[in-house]
Structure 1
Amino acid sequence: MVRVPVAVRKTRHALRRSRRTARPQLPVLELTPRPRPWARGLGLVAVGVLGAWLGLLIVGNVRVPVGPMNTTMTLRPSLTGGTKINISPLGALQLDSHHAPVRLDVNVDQLDPVRSQALVDHPERLTGLQDEVSRDVEHGTLDLALRSCVAVVSGATALGLAVYRRPRRALAAGGLALTLLGASGASAYATWNPESVLEPKFSGLLSSAPSLVGNARSIVTDFDVYQKELARLVTNVTKLYDVTSTLPAYQPDPNTIRVLHVSDIHLNPASWKIIGSLVEQYEVNVIVDSGDTMDHGTAAENGFLDPIADLGAPYVWVRGNHDSLTTQRYLERMKNVHVLDDGDAETVAGLRFAGIGDPQFTPDRSTVPGAAATQELAGDRLAAALRAQRSAGTPVDLAVAHEPSAARRVDGEVPMVLAGHLHHEETELLKKGTRLRVEGSTGGSGLRAVEGKYPDPIEASILYMDRATHRLQAWDEIKLGGLGLTTAEVSRHLPEKNQP
C-alpha cells in the first residue's frame, strides 16, 4: 500500500473546497409568500373591529341612576343605530334616535325604593323631574363615552397582541378601533333626531303599551321635544313600577277622540277579544270596521257577529267583498252598529263619518271583469256624497271604503279615508292632501292565516283625533303575533307638519 504524502493530501482537500465554493448558488425559493398590503390592512381592520366589539361586551357598560330608576347603559354594534330601552318585564321601546353603526341600549334594572317612594308621596316633585333626568342622562352618556373608548382600545389592543404578537401592530389595532368609534360618534351626532321620542315603537305586553307610549294629545301640544319627553317616559315607567306593583289605568286626554280602526276580520273569533281589550286599554270612543268581517257572507255565519254588541263602543261598519247583503241587514238591526252604504253619513262619538260598501261580492276570491272600473264608480259616488255633505254644512271628518282603489277617488274631498282589503298596513298622503290609511287584517287573514310559511299578524290602529278640530294628531300601529304567536308591537306615528 502506497502512502500519500501529507502535503499532497492537503493540496487535494484545498482543491475540492475551491471547486465547491466556485459552484453557482441557486436562489432559495420562498414557500410562504408575504401577504399583500391590502390583505394586511383588511386583517388589521377585522382584528380592530372584533376586539372593539369584545371590549364593549365585557366592560363597555355603565350603571346610571336616571330619576328614580337604576339603569345600565351600553353601546352595541348595529347596522341601523337607534336607541333601545328595555323595561323588563313589560317590554321594550325602540327610538329612531340616530343612524350609525352603534346602538344605545338602556336597561331599566329596578326602581330605587327611596327615590320612587319620594315621588309617590310628593307628586309635586314631578315638575322638577325633567331637569333631574336631563342631568342624569348627560352624566351617564359622558361616562359611557369615556368607558366605551377605553373598552374598544383595550379590546382591540389585547386581541391584536394575541394575533400578531407585535406591540406596534397591537397598538395600531387599538388606534383603528378608537378611530372607528369616533367616526361612529360623529355619525350619530350628525344624524341625531330629538323628535324620535315622539314616535316610539313598543314591543311587549299589550296592556302596558298605552301607559308607556303615552297620550297623543300631550305628545303633540304640551311638551318641548326631547328633555320633557324623556322625563315623561321616566314618569310613566315609574308609575308602572309603583311600589304596589299594580299597573295604573290609562287616562287619555279628554280632548282627544280615540278611534279604533279594524278590518278584514275574516271570521276569526279571537278578534273580538282583542278588540275588546283594545277598547278597554285605550278607552276607545268609536270602532271603525272597513269590511270583510265575514268569510262567505252566509246566514249561518251571522251568529259570529253577536259579540259586537258587547264591545263597549259604537261600531261603524262598511261592507267588504266577503260580506253579503244578508250580513249587512243582520248588522243593521244591532243598536250600537252604524252601517254606512252608498255615501251614508252619520255623526258618531263627535266625528262625522261617511262610507260606501264594496260593490262586489266575491267570497270565493274570484276576479270579476271590469272590477277596477266598478270600484272607481263606487269611489266617485262616495266623493259626490262628501261634496254634498260639505255643501250642506256638515263636512265629513272620516270616509270609509273597503277597497283602497275606491278610497283614492275621494282625494281632496275629506281629510282622511280608511280602507282595508290588502291585509297589510300602509299610509299614503294622496296628491290633493287626503290621507289614506289602509288597515291590515285584524283577524290575521282568518282561515288563510296558515297558508304561508308564517302566520299572518293581527293588525289594528288607534287614531287620535282632536275633539275641537277633528284633525288627526297621531296614530298607533298595533301588531300582534298571528296564530300560535304571542308577540305585540305598538308603533307611534305623527302626521307630517301642516298635514291633515
Structure 2
Amino acid sequence: MAARAALRTTYARLLRHYRSHHSAPTPALVHTPHPYARAFGLVAVVLLGAWLGLLAVGSVRTPVGPMDTSMTLRPSLSGGTKINVSPLGALELDSHTAPIRLDVDVDQLDPVRSQALVQHPERITGLQDEITQDVADGTRELALRSCVAVVSGATALGLAVYRRPRRALAAGGLALALLAASGASAYATWNPKSVLEPRFSGLLSSAPSVVGNARSIVTEFDVYQKELARLVTNVTKLYDAASTLPTYQPDPGTMRVLHVSDIHLNPAAWEIIRSLVEQYRIDVIIDSGDTMDHGTAAENGFLDPISDLGAPYVWVRGNHDSRVTQRYLERLRNVHVLDGGRAVTVAGLRVAGTGDPQFTPDRSVAPAGDDAERAAGARLAAALGAEARAGRPVDIAVAHNPVAAQ
C-alpha cells in the first residue's frame, strides 16, 4: 500500500510538471493593446492621412471675378478665412469657427476678363453677384475634392500602417465623418458680416486708409464702384503694355540690379523691395538717395530693415540725406556707402558713386546750385578714369542729382 501511494504521488508531481511546461499561456499573460490606445492610434493615422491628402490634391483653381485664385482647406484651431494677395500681403476674416481654415491665394488678374469689364462698364454693377457665384462654385468643387483627398489619404495611410483592408476602410470612413462634422460646424457658425471687419497684414495694412474701410464701402458703394472701374482700367492697360514687350530670356550669367530712389521715409518701401528681390532674384540693390526727409538722427531707425532685404545694398547720399544718415548706414550690415567717387565690387559688378554735395533741409546753409553738382560730377568722372587706368573699369556710376550724372 505504501508503495502504491508513493507511486501515485510521483505520478501527480510529474503530471503537474508537464502541464506547467506544455500547457497554453493563461489569458493574463497575453499582451493586448488597451482600447483607448487603439482608438488614439487610429485617430492619429486618420488625421495625418487626411492632412497629407489635403496637401497633395486638396486644392482647386477657380476664377473669382477678374482674378484667378487657388482655394485650399487647411487644419486650424480657430477656423476663419485667409486671403493671400502676393506680394501685397493678406487679409483674414472670422468667417466661421471650425477645425478647418479656408485659404484663398489670389494668383493674378486675368487681362481678358479685366478688359471685358473695361469695355462693358455696366458689368461692374453685377460684379458683386458674379463674384458671389464664383466663390460658391469654387467652394462646392473644393468640398468635393477635399472629401476625396481626406478619404484617400486616410485610407492609404491606414493600409500602410495596419495592413488590413477593414482597418484602412475604417480610417477612411472616420476621416470623412470628421470632415463632415467640420463642415457642419463651419456652416452653423458662418458669419457673412466678417467681410466688414477684415484684419490686414503686409502692405494691405494701409488699405483702410487708402480705400476706406469695408463699412464705408458698403454705405458708399457708388463711389467705390467708380474707383474700382478706374483701378481695373489702369491694371488692364498695364497688362496690355506688358504683352507687347519682347520676351526676355537672360542667360545664367545675367546680373539683376534693382534701382530705387527717393524713398522719403515711405514705410511701404521695404516690403515692396523685399518682394521684388524674392520675385526677380535680385543680385544687388542700388539706392541713389533721398531715403530720408530731414536727415535727423531720429529718423535713423527707419533704415534698419535694409540689412535683411536679401541682397547687398549700395547707397549714395541725396540732398535730403545728412552726414548723420550716411554714418549710420556705414555701420549697417550688408550696406555699401559710396561717396567722393569711391568704388566697390558687389555681386560681380564694379559700382562707383558720390553723394549729393547739397543738404537742402538745412536752411542755415545757402544752396550752391548746379555748380556744386557739376563739381561733384567732375570728381566722380575723375574717379572713374582712375579706376579704368588701374585696370578696374566701373560698370555702374551712381549720383543723385541729374546735373552731376550728366
TM-score of the two chains, using structure 1 as the length reference? 0.42
Give 2:169's aligned residue. 171
* Secondary structure, counterpart of 2:98 in structure 1: coil
- Report matched runs for 1:316-335 at 5 Å: none
* Secondary structure, counterpart of 2:19 in structure 1: coil
Q: Is this contact kept in 2: 1:202–1:213, CA < 8 A? A: no
> What amino acid does structure 1 have at the position aligned with 2:110?
D
Give 1:373's aligned residue. none
Q: Kindly state the Cα deviation for residue 236 of structure 1 after the two structures are TM-superposed.
A: 9.4
> What amino acid does structure 2 have at the position aligned with 1:107?
D
Q: C-alpha separation between the residues in 2 aligned to 1:187 and 1:91?
A: 28
Q: C-alpha separation between the residues in 2 aligned to 1:32 and 1:42?
A: 21
* Secondary structure, counterpart of 1:244 in structure 2: helix
After superposition, give the CA deviation of every residue in 1:89-122 in whole Å (9 maximum; x if it has no partner): 2222211111111110111112222111111232
- Report matched runs for 1:382-401 at 5 Å: none
* Secondary structure, counterpart of 1:125 in structure 2: helix
Q: C-alpha separation between the residues in 2 aligned to 1:44 and 1:53?
A: 14
Q: Does 1:214 align with 2:206?
A: no
Give 1:23's aligned residue. 18
Q: C-alpha separation between the residues in 2 aligned to 1:446 and 1:51?
A: 47
After superposition, give the CA deviation of every residue in 1:32-73 in whole Å (9 maximum; x if it has no partner): 721000100001111111111111111111111111111111
> What amino acid does structure 1 have at the position aligned with 2:238?
T
- Report matched runs for 1:39-188 at 5 Å: 39-188=37-186
Candidates 235, 238, 241, aligned match of 1:244: 238
Q: C-alpha separation between the residues in 2 aligned to 1:241 and 1:194?
A: 29
CA shift in 2, pair 1:196/1:237, >3 Å: farther
* Secondary structure, counterpart of 1:80 in structure 2: coil
Q: C-alpha separation between the residues in 2 aligned to 1:107 and 1:236?
A: 23
> What amino acid does structure 2 have at the position aligned with 1:273?
L
Q: Is this contact kept in 1: 2:111–2:239, CA < 8 A? A: no
Q: C-alpha separation between the residues in 1 aligned to 2:62 and 2:194?
A: 22
Q: C-alpha separation between the residues in 2 aligned to 1:36 and 1:85?
A: 44
Give 1:195's aligned residue. 193
CA shift in 2, pair 1:307/1:127, >3 Å: same
Q: C-alpha separation between the residues in 1 aligned to 2:114 and 2:200?
A: 23
- Report matched runs for 1:164-313 at 5 Å: 164-205=162-203, 209-210=206-207, 214-216=211-213, 218-219=216-217, 221-222=219-220, 238=232, 241-244=235-238, 273-274=265-266
CA shift in 2, pair 1:307/1:181, >3 Å: same
Q: Is this contact kept in 2: 1:198–1:219, CA < 8 A? A: no
Q: Which runs of 5+ in 1 are unaligned?
A: 1-15, 247-271, 278-305, 309-442, 450-482, 485-500
After superposition, give the CA deviation of every residue in 1:407-463 in whole Å (9 maximum; x if it has no partner): xxxxxxxxxxxxxxxxxxxxxxxxxxxxxxxxxxxx89979x9xxxxxxxxxxxxxx
Q: Kindly state the Cα deviation for residue 135 of structure 1 after the two structures are TM-superposed.
A: 1.2
* Secondary structure, counterpart of 1:24 in structure 2: helix
> What amino acid does structure 2 have at the position aligned with 1:119?
L
Q: Is this contact kept in 2: 1:67–1:132, CA < 8 A? A: yes
CA shift in 2, pair 1:40/1:223, >3 Å: farther
Q: C-alpha separation between the residues in 1 aligned to 2:226 and 2:94?
A: 18
* Secondary structure, counterpart of 1:23 in structure 2: helix
CA shift in 2, pair 1:239/1:137, >3 Å: farther
Identity across aligned pairs (percent)? 65
Q: C-alpha separation between the residues in 2 aligned to 1:140 and 1:168?
A: 33
CA shift in 2, pair 1:100/1:235, >3 Å: farther
Q: C-alpha separation between the residues in 2 aligned to 1:107 and 1:219?
A: 23
> What amino acid does structure 2 have at the position aligned with 1:244?
L
Select between 132-141 and 211-220 the one with higher mean Cα deviation. 211-220
CA shift in 2, pair 1:198/1:444, >3 Å: farther
Q: Is this contact kept in 2: 1:111–1:238, CA < 8 A? A: no
Q: Is this contact kept in 2: 1:52–1:153, CA < 8 A? A: yes
CA shift in 2, pair 1:148/1:165, >3 Å: same
Select between 56-65 and 109-118 the one with higher mean Cα deviation. 109-118
After superposition, give the CA deviation of every residue in 1:269-325 in whole Å (9 maximum; x if it has no partner): xxx825899xxxxxxxxxxxxxxxxxxxxxxxxxxxx959xxxxxxxxxxxxxxxxx
Q: Kindly state the Cα deviation for residue 218 of structure 1 after the two structures are TM-superposed.
A: 3.2
Q: CA RMSD in A?
A: 4.2
Q: Is this contact kept in 2: 1:212–1:237, CA < 8 A? A: no
Identify the structure with the greater strand proportion: 1
Q: C-alpha separation between the residues in 2 aligned to 1:184 and 1:174?
A: 15
Q: C-alpha separation between the residues in 2 aligned to 1:188 and 1:39?
A: 30
Q: C-alpha separation between the residues in 1 aligned to 2:221 and 2:154?
A: 43
Q: Kindly state the Cα deviation for residue 21 of structure 1 after the two structures are TM-superposed.
A: 11
* Secondary structure, counterpart of 1:273 in structure 2: coil
> What amino acid does structure 2 have at the position aligned with 1:23?
Y
Q: Kindly state the Cα deviation for residue 205 of structure 1 after the two structures are TM-superposed.
A: 2.6
Q: C-alpha separation between the residues in 2 aligned to 1:116 and 1:97?
A: 28
Q: C-alpha separation between the residues in 2 aligned to 1:240 and 1:34?
A: 70
Q: C-alpha separation between the residues in 2 aligned to 1:21 and 1:174?
A: 51
Q: C-alpha separation between the residues in 1 aligned to 2:268 and 2:146?
A: 47
TM-score of the two chains, using structure 2 as the length reference? 0.51
> What amino acid does structure 2 have at the position aligned with 1:105?
D
Q: Which runs of 5+ in 2 are unaligned?
A: 1-10, 241-263, 270-292, 305-331, 334-406
Q: C-alpha separation between the residues in 1 aligned to 2:231 and 2:142?
A: 22
Q: C-alpha separation between the residues in 2 aligned to 1:91 and 1:166?
A: 46
